[in-house]
Structure 1
Amino acid sequence: AGLTKAGALLTEKVVAKVASKAEVAAAANAGNAAHNAASYAGLKLDLKTTEAANDLVESLRKTGQLPESYVNKAQAMDNGWKPGKALNNTSPGKQIGGDIFENSNNILPSSPGRVWREADIGIDNTMSRSNQAGTRLLYSDDGLLYITTDHYETATSIGKWK
């Protein structure tokens, strides 16, 4: 009877250990699933932003400049635009782009003499800019292209325009 009791105790410990490992594995898998879902959502946004930048990249490649539908912030303000407000109110059909991006948070590669510029991507110019996603194209004078989908927290390389 003592052996049976010891065997039962051992079995109970093994079952508890296996159950504990199963719980840890289940939690890890749930964490991985959440991580994978978040990664998928991020990659999907990167793809959408990159696709939205196609016309800008093509214009840079052909002319070295953004499309005519882009005005820099000074031009927009000359037309009466106020930062954070909807651009369409004062510059119908236009987007903001072409201003120098300082790269003060060093999210982009630096090189002596390199100048970075920024352009809105996928912004609805009839809505207040302060209520929109921070999706931008960042492009350098030596041909590098990056996008940011989180208003300059991170940047993803999408190739070169030169």
Structure 2
Amino acid sequence: MNKKLIVAVILAIVATAAGLRHPANNPPAQQQTAPTSSTAANDISSLTQLQRVASYLHQHQRLPAWYLTKSEARRQGWEPGKGNLCQILPGRAIGGDRFSNREKVLPEKQGRRWFEADVNYDCGRRGSDRMLYSSDGLIYVTSDHYRNVKQVY
């Protein structure tokens, strides 16, 4: 047998044995169990608090990672009419979709695009609290489903 092949086999065996002996060096596998619905509700209520999301958005110019668009959520099993987001995607909220501003409640400017995100979400069906944010850094909030808006940033 070729000496290089023998050395390679021995090194592979030693490396495998060393890896098995020191599992603490390997990161743990992700836990696959979903949180209970009450845990998810508490988490998402805190994560979607208006000031928390507005501050993050103002600082990073993007939504926090727990937001996903309506189409992304639907692809993963969310059915809006059932209000099942917390059961299907615990710890997630809806946000990042385009907002058309058809009613002209928000200031317009050439090239500005508006987006929306749920805030103060407490599982079940989506409430009327929304954050409306623009491509150029403006942030507004509505608590009556777009009838009245208030600037946050």
TM-score scaled by length of structure 2: 0.64
Structure 2, unaligned runs of 5 or more:
1-47
- Count of equivalent residues: 105
For 1:150, which of 139, 144, 149 is the aligned residue? 144
Instruction: Name the CA distance, whole Å, in 1 between partners of 2:58 and 2:125.
Output: 30
Tell me how far 1:158 sits from its aligned partner.
Answer: 1.4
Instruction: Name the CA distance, whole Å, in 2 between partners of 1:151 and 1:143.
Output: 21
Instruction: Name the CA distance, whole Å, in 2 between partners of 1:83 and 1:104.
Output: 23
What amino acid sits opposite 2:137 in the alignment?
G
Once the two structures are aligned, what percentage of the paired residues are identical?
Answer: 39
What amino acid sits opposite 2:52 in the alignment?
D
Which residue does 1:30 correspond to in 2? none
For 1:61, which of 47, 58, 63 is the aligned residue? 58
| 8 Å contact kept, 2:98–2:116 | yes
For 1:101, which of 91, 99, 102 is the aligned residue? 99
Q: How does 1:10-89 map to 2 (within 5 A)?
A: 52-84=49-81, 85-89=83-87
What amino acid sits opposite 1:141 in the alignment?
S
Instruction: Name the CA distance, whole Å, in 2 between partners of 1:146 and 1:62.
Output: 15
Tell me how far 1:122 sits from its aligned partner.
Answer: 0.5
| 8 Å contact kept, 2:97–2:117 | yes
For 2:121, which of 115, 120, 123 is the aligned residue? 123
Instruction: Name the CA distance, whole Å, in 1 between partners of 2:49 and 2:87.
Output: 22
Tell me how far 1:123 sits from its aligned partner.
Answer: 1.2
Instruction: Name the CA distance, whole Å, in 2 between partners of 1:128 and 1:140.
Output: 25
CA RMSD between the two structures: 1.6
SS at match of 1:65: coil
CA radius of gyration, larger in: 1
SS at match of 1:75: helix
TM-score scaled by length of structure 1: 0.60
> Which structure has the highest helix share of the two?
1
The answer to whether the aligner puts 1:140 opposite 2:134 as a matched pair is yes
Instruction: Name the CA distance, whole Å, in 2 between partners of 1:147 and 1:72.
Output: 18
What amino acid sits opposite 2:141 in the alignment?
I
Please list every run of at least 4 consecutive aligned residues from structure 1 whose deviation after the TM superposition is greater than 6 angstroms: none
Instruction: Name the CA distance, whole Å, in 1 between partners of 2:96 and 2:113.
Output: 11
Tell me how far 1:62 sits from its aligned partner.
Answer: 3.3
Which residue does 2:90 correspond to in 1? 92
Tell me how far 1:86 sits from its aligned partner.
Answer: 2.7
